[in-house]
A and B are shown apart, each in its own frame.
Chain A
Amino acid sequence: MVTPRTMSEKILSATSGRVAMAGDIVFCKPDWVLGTDASSPMAIAYFEAMGGTRLADPSRVAFALDHYSPPTRPETAAFHAQVRGFAGRHGATLFDVGEGISHQVLCERGMARPGMLVIGADSHTVTCGALNLFATGVGSSDLAAAMITGEVWLRVPETIRIFLVGERAPDFAAKDVALAMVAELGAEGANYAALEFHGPGVAAFPLEDRLVFSNLAVEAGAKAALFPADGKTEAYLSDRTDQGVEPVEADIGARYVRDVTIDLGELAPRIALPHSPEHVVPLVDAIGTPIHMVFIGTCTGGRVRDFHDALRVLERGGGTLASGVQLVVTPASGEVRQRLTEDGTLAAFVAMGATVTTPGCGACCGTSGVIPGDRMNVLSTANRNFKARMGNATASIYLASPAACAAAALSGCISDPRGSTRARP
């Protein structure tokens, strides 16, 4: 009889060719080895120092120019030239400037599919787990070793089960739930562990929302964050790939180290206060805090659905930005920008005075896009609000849903996106 296994144990068994159970060290063959312009220059240096001459499998290696999109200095432009040259010489896939954030592009082009193993030199590679696969972040040296050997060593993680239960309110964002999840787990509550999502509430979230959960999981330290595959997964992938979907299901009786239940019906909008994504409070507790810059974008909140949510709130509120508020909009990918262009969303943002920047990571980590001024308060749809994260150590960054960001852009202060700017009892 086969021992019941979690999704992670099944995927790491299949990609290592042995029975892989929590705690085991296994050598796995990744389906994708993913680098960015921020991590690949070092990976290329490691590759050369390791004596690498060729990629073990060029068809499984991709690089994205997303963190410095576009480059604003000769030094970063030189990093781009280096990565482009390497990808070209070795036959790897390249997502050039403006194509989007590495793991976002992997998902939206149908390159990330159920059952796969993805390693990326970008901690938010975990995002791809929303598509029922094992995706995890590594450093540049592990990336280089995987490029040369075609393998990566992994400790098979224990799994924490997240049960989503209760009725989801229509104006309640995935970001609100995901922030509540990070707060419940704590900044290292899932360190070395994988998350698996279960429960009737899963079906309430389309793929774009599931990506938000998997993305924020790393702020609790998670190694991977896997959703089951269902009709919504198939619908998302059927537009993007001809490959069939083979869902990976957890076995009944699989071993979990912890269960966390989140009741969607009991939650209200959330906000993370400076300077940690685990400093999460009900948004009503922060109402009235002045906001000087609003940033809608990133691998957490830069997808089509996010901009639609934000625009709905902006239009409902009259569409006039508060005096002195800078609204910065950065689509997560070129495809997102294309769709927002076609449906008029971007034009509406521009008409309101928003600054629209090149698809990619944008202002999130201060490496491209807009840097906040001294002592500014920023409300952002991103995932990290560490001090100096956006390039100015005197700025304070708050994290919330796209709707909450839009509400603040209208009022100039943190406001309830559900309509009232007054604190609810």
Chain B
Amino acid sequence: MIRSIEGRARRLGDNVNTDYIIASTRKRDTLDEAILKHYLLETIDPGFAASIGPDDLLVGGRNFGCGSAMEIAATVILAAGIRAVLATSFSRTFYRNAVNNGLIPVECPTEAIREGDRLSIALADDAITVTDVTARSTAQGPPISGIMLDILNAGGLVAYVRQSRQWLAPNAQ
């Protein structure tokens, strides 16, 4: 289980939809993330993909990943070397897709985080704590728990299902 992540904030706004993360017209031509990562967030910022550093973390505002449920929006972020996305809130489909692929969604207030800030994220059982080292501020959010934590700990949904070909938590009354 990953307990901590450090990195540099790459600041995005509210309502970053999955078409902005990767355009449908790009994934029409290939599903190879090694190619698609060069077009990450191109609609918002054509120079973004080329500017990604080795420990960059995406920081969105409200409703990150809204719109289409396309899973490639999560896997392209991972392919670009980004391990976590922080946002004040996530669209439900993006959140699921992120967890299923081992991209860590961090739900916490992000208003105070600025472009380029150094971030330190601690994933504890009861809460996620994000420390903005540059701004010397902290924010907290709910932990990833239950079935989603199980999937994340397994290394993603592929590994989870591969282990048993079934869901491990049966319906309990």
Contacts and interface: CB of A to CB of B under 8 A. Distances in A.
Interface of A: 16-19, 25-27, 38-39, 41-42, 45-46, 49-52, 67-68, 73, 75-76, 121-123, 137-142, 144-145, 148-149, 151, 153, 187-188, 191-192, 221, 223, 276, 365-367, 384, 386-389, 391, 393
Nearest to B166: A149
Given A27-B167, A68-B28, A366-B25, A188 B173 contact: no
A219 to B, nearest CB: 8
Contact of A142 (B20, B31, B100): B100
A153 B31 CA distance: 26
B96 to A, nearest CB: 6
Nearest to A26: B171
Given A26-B171, A38-B27, A191-B91, 6 more contacts: A122-B68, A123-B68, A139-B97, A142-B96, A188-B63, A386-B67
Nearest to A366: B25
B23 interface: yes
B172 to A, nearest CB: 8
Nearest to B43: A388
B140 to A, nearest CB: 20
A274 to B, nearest CB: 13
Interface stretch (B49-57, B69-77, B124-132): B69-77
Grouping DSSP codes into helix (H, G, I), strand (E, B) and loop, the B interface class, with mixed when no group exceeds half, is loop
B161 A148 contact: yes
B24 A139 contact: no
A187 B66 contact: yes
A16 B63 CA distance: 29
Contacts of B68: 122-123, 365
Given A18-B173, A139-B96, A221-B63, A149 B28 contact: no
A263 B131 CA distance: 47
A366 B97 CA distance: 23
Interface size bucket, B side?
A: 35 or more
B15 A276 contact: yes
Contacts of A393: 43
Given A145-B161, A153-B147, A389-B19, A18 B171 contact: yes
B108 interface: no
A188 B71 contact: no
A41 B30 CA distance: 11
A367 B67 contact: no
Contacts of A17: 171
B162 interface: yes
Grouping DSSP codes into helix (H, G, I), strand (E, B) and loop, the A interface class, with mixed when no group exceeds half, is loop
B19 A388 contact: yes
Interface string B146-159: 11000000001110
Contact of A139 (B43, B66, B69, B165): B69
A138 B161 contact: no
A149 B66 CA distance: 27
A18, A38, A45: which has the most chain B beta carbons within 10 Å?
A38
A26 B172 CA distance: 9
Contacts of B30: 75
A316 to B, nearest CB: 35
B173 A19 contact: yes
Nearest to A388: B43
A27 to B, nearest CB: 5
B89 to A, nearest CB: 6
A201 B74 CA distance: 40
B24 A42 contact: no
B106 to A, nearest CB: 17
A391 B25 contact: yes
A36 to B, nearest CB: 10
A188, A223, A367: which has the most chain B beta carbons within 10 Å?
A188
Contact of A141 (B27, B91, B97, B167): B97
Nearest to B98: A139
B62 interface: yes
Nearest to A73: B29
A64 to B, nearest CB: 15
Given A39-B71, A138-B93, A139-B96, A27 B63 contact: no
A387 B158 contact: no
B110 interface: no
Contact of B28 (A25, A76, A137, A388): A76
